[in-house]
A and B are shown apart, each in its own frame.
Chain A
Amino acid sequence: MIALGQQIENKFLTAVNKKSGNNILDCYQCGKCVSTCPVSSFMDFPPREIMQMIKLGLKDETYMANSMWFCLTCAACSGRCPREIDIPRVMESIRHLAIEENVNPDDPHVKNIRKFHEIFLDMVRRYGRNYELRMMAEFNIRTRNLFKDMHLAPKALLKGKIPIGHEKVKSAKAIQRMFKLAEKLENTK
C-alpha cells in the first residue's frame, strides 16, 4: 500500500518539471509510450508508470527504479506521445536528479550501465576520443565479467573491426580542462 495525503506540496514533481522543461501533469496515462518503448519490458516501471509515480510524488521509488537507466533516448515514445511529453528528457532529468542525490539502484544491470558510461567518459577525458578495444577490456575487468564477448573478439580483431591502436585529440589538455570546468558548472547549480 502506498500512503498518500501526508504531504500536500509535490516537490518531486516540481523538481522534475523544472529540470525537464515538461509538465508531467500533462500525462493522461494512455500508455502509448509503454508499447512504443523498445526496452519497457526490461524496466521496473515503464514510462507511463514513471509519470504516475512522479505525479504521486514517489521520489524514492522512482530513484530506485532501473527505468531511467534503461532508457535509450531513442525518442520513439516522445514522437508518439499525444500530450507531447519529452519522455527521454524526463528520464534524463530523474537520472540526473538521482545522480545528484547520490541514489543508486541495486539492479546489477544499472551498475553495469553506469560503469560502462563512466569508463566511456573516462576514455574521452583521457584521449578526447573513444578507444573501443580498451573500452571493452576495461568494462569487462571492472564488471568482473572477464570473458564477456570474448567469443566475438578474435573474429572482430581479425576482421579489423576493432582497431588495435587508437587516436588522440591533439589538444588533450583542452579536453581535460573542459571536463573540469563542466564538472564545476555541474556543482555550482
Chain B
Amino acid sequence: MTKLTYFPGCSAHGTSEEFDSTLKLVMKSLDVEMEELPDWNCCGATSAHVMTENLALALPLRNLVLAEKLDNKTMGIACASCYSRMKSTKVEMDNHPELAKKINSTIVEEGEYKGDVDVKSMLQFFYEDIGTETIAGKVTYPLKGLKIACYYGCLLTRPKNITQFDSPEYPMSMDNIVEALGATATPFDFKTECCGASFSISDTEIVLSLSGTILEMAKESGAHLIAVACPLCQSNLDMRQPDIAKKRGKKFDLPVLYITQLMALAFGYPLKDLKPSKHIIPIEQALSHIGEEIATPEVKKKPKKAVEAESEVE
C-alpha cells in the first residue's frame, strides 16, 4: 500500500469539500493511504508573496518541516496554488541553504528543514506514481461518450523549472487520465491560460474576462464539461459562470468537475458521492452523455497533396 502525506489546503477544507471527499474515495480505490499533515497551516497563497519576501517562504516552510516528521516520502497537495507555493519554497530552500537557514529561524521550534520530502500536486501523483494503466484498471463504469476539456490553469505545470512536470504550454497528463477513464479529451488550446485566480474577490472584472475566454474556448472544443485539478480554478469557472454568461450574452452550461469526481464516478461510486448539489452549474445533464456513441468526426476529404508521413504501396 502506497502512503502519502496529504496537504488539503484551506480550500479543500472550505469551498471545495467535494474535491476533498472524492479525493479520499479515489485514493481508497487506488490503495493509497493518505495521512493528513497534522496541524498544517495556510501556505500564504498569493497574498504572502505579493506583500512580503520572508513570510512567503516561512509559511510553506513550516508545512515542509512538519511533513518531514512523518515517514512518507511524498506530500500530495490538493490545491494548485498551495502546490506552487510549497514547491517553489522547496526548490528555493534546496538551492540556497543559506536562505533556508535564515527562514528556518522563524520556526525554530518546529525543527530543521532537511529537504527529504517530495512535493507533488495530486495530478502529478496520479500521473507519475499511480499511472494511467493502473487507473484504467480500476474503471468499472467507463465514461464513454463524455467529451471533456481538461483545464490545468497556470500553476500545475508552470514555471517549468519549479514544477518539473508535464508541458507548461500543452500538458497532456490530465487528458491521458480522462482518456483512461474512457472519456474523450477534446483539443483545448486554452488549457493553461490563467483564469485570474487570486483576483476572485479583489478584482472580479479581470476574472470575468479571463475565465470567460477559457469557457468560450472549452465550448468551442465541443466539450460537455471541464475537468480541473484545483479548487481556485473550479470556483472561478463554476461560480462565476452565470455572471460571465450574462455579460457575454451566451449560455455555456459547462459544469466544472474535479478530476477526482470523474475518477470516483468511473471507479463505480454513485453519483451522489460526487456531491452534485455543490455545483452552481448542474452536472447531471452533462453526465447524461455517458454511454453515447461519439460520432467519429466525418473523415475530411483528403487534402490535395497533403502531408503524409508513412510510405504506402499502391
Contacts and interface: CB of A to CB of B under 8 A. Distances in A.
Nearest to A109: B203
A53 interface: no
A51 to B, nearest CB: 18
B140 interface: no
B47 A38 contact: no
B44 A121 contact: yes
B142 interface: no
B277 interface: yes
Interface stretch (B10-18, B143-151, B218-226, B255-263): B10-18
Contact of B39 (A39, A139, A169): A169
A38 B14 contact: no
B202 A170 contact: no
A159 B154 contact: no
B161 to A, nearest CB: 9
| Interface size class of chain B, counting residues whose CB lies under 8 Å from the partner chain | 35 or more
Contacts of B289: none
Contacts of A67: none
B30 interface: no
Nearest to A148: B204
Interface string B14-39: 11010000000000000000000001
Interface in B99-158: 102-103, 105-107, 109-110, 154-155, 158
A130 B40 CA distance: 12
A74 interface: yes
B176 interface: no
B196 interface: yes
Interface string A132-169: 10011001000000001100100110011111001101
A79 B169 contact: yes
A75 interface: yes
Given A113-B202, A115-B202, A121-B51, A185 B102 contact: yes
A56 to B, nearest CB: 25
Given A76-B194, A185-B102, A124 B14 contact: no
Contact of A116 (B14, B196, B202): B202
Contacts of A118: 47, 51
B235 A161 contact: yes
A139 B204 CA distance: 13
Interface stretch (A1-9, A26-34, A92-100): A92-100
B58 A182 contact: yes
Given A38-B194, A72-B154, A170-B39, A121 B202 contact: no
B154 A76 contact: yes
B280 interface: yes
A167 to B, nearest CB: 6
Contacts of B192: 76
Given A75-B159, A149-B204, A185-B102, A129 B42 contact: yes
Given A75-B159, A149-B201, A178-B62, A124 B52 contact: no
Interface of A: 38-39, 42, 69-70, 72-76, 78-79, 86, 92, 95-96, 99, 109, 112-118, 120-121, 124, 128-132, 135-136, 139, 148-149, 152, 155-156, 159-163, 166-167, 169-171, 174-175, 177-179, 181-183, 185-186
20 contacts: A72-B154, A72-B194, A72-B196, A92-B50, A114-B51, A115-B202, A118-B51, A120-B45, A121-B44, A121-B51, A132-B10, A132-B15, A135-B201, A136-B201, A163-B17, A178-B62, A182-B54, A183-B52, A183-B54, A186-B54
Given A73-B49, A131-B14, A136-B201, 13 more contacts: A38-B206, A39-B194, A42-B203, A76-B154, A113-B203, A117-B51, A124-B42, A129-B13, A132-B11, A139-B201, A156-B280, A163-B14, A182-B55
